[in-house]
Amino acid sequence: MRVGFIGLGIMGKPMSKNLIKAGHEVVVRDNKESAIAELVEIGAQRGGTPREIAQQVDLVITMLPNSPHVRDVALGSDGIVAGAHEGLVYVDMSSIAPLVSREVSEALADQGIAMLDAPVSGGEPKAVDGTLSIMVGGDRAVFDRVRDVLAAMGSSVVHVGDIGAGNIAKLANQVVVALNIAAVSEAFVLAQKAGVPPSSVFEAIRGGLAGSTVLEAKAPMMLARNFKPGFRVDLHIKDLTNALETSHDLGVPLPLTASVLEMMTALKADGHGKDDHSGLVQYYELLARTQVTDGA
């Protein structure tokens, strides 16, 4: 399939590479020339405006920071909507507010463009491996048309429901991940302060009920004090903010989510917004006046 891919950041760049590896023709656009050049070198075509890209492809995919960016690329004066043609499908893989997904979808539908919201989970490592979890909202028939394309980027591609359902699932995912990271941080700081090596605690609990994908991915980063971002604190703050705004609209209290959002906001204020979200352990370390290490 001929695919336009807009947004070549930490996630978008490896995702688009996997589309090329799968044999798709990919037209790319990003604000960073270096990212475009890297993709062109392995076979991508350089794209123009979102309108120009939409005019020449069957499917446009975006991987952008937040709702305003998606709205602008999709509905701006030179956006995807201006490049409408029969059979065009738009899949937004960004993590944005579900209500914005629905708003954009309705505007595109007026011009005959079908839209899916398909946010992902797994961070940079799984984006590189092509093993992301992809949560999809929108018309089932449209999903079936592009499922094989999405499968080139993820090992799990699940249709969740109508448009916006993908981002509801992603918000739920981000709540679970954030609370897991906070729990691991609390546990490791407790162990450290008690003189028990957190690395030993990790080995002791990983095979039991406390074991989780989050524990396996983030505990080693905490122990090695490697906070190079696979998923930045800044981005998790954005997702939890969207989760709380959505929950308020629905009348659903999320007290634990609100607490972790405040922790991450404090971490950002202390200069750690660009750290991986496993860096949340630093918030607890400051409170307990200790530092998690491999040893006791």
Distance of CA 53 to the CA centre of its chain: 23
Coil, helix or strand at residue 56: helix
- Answer yes or no: are the C-beta atoms of 267 and 275 closer than 8 Å: yes
Q: How far apart are CA 110 and CA 54, in angstroms?
A: 16
Coil, helix or strand at residue 8: coil
Coil, helix or strand at residue 114: strand
Residue from 13, 17, 126, 170 carrying the catalytic annotation: 170
**Pairing outcome for strands 89-92 and 59-62:** parallel
CB-side exposure of 202: number of CA atoms within 13 Å?
25
Structure token digits, residue 130: 């092509």
Q: Which residue has the tokens 């090329």?
A: 20
The b-or-e profile of 277-291 (16+ CB within 10 A means b, else e) is bbbbbbbbbeeeeee
Q: Active site includes 170?
A: yes
Residue 290 CA: distances (Å) to CA of 40, 193, 201, 277, 281: 47, 7, 17, 19, 11
- Answer yes or no: are the C-beta atoms of 292 and 200 closer than 8 Å: no
Structure token digits, residue 152: 């080139």
Q: How far apart are CA 39 and CA 178, in angstroms?
A: 32
The set of catalytic residues is 170
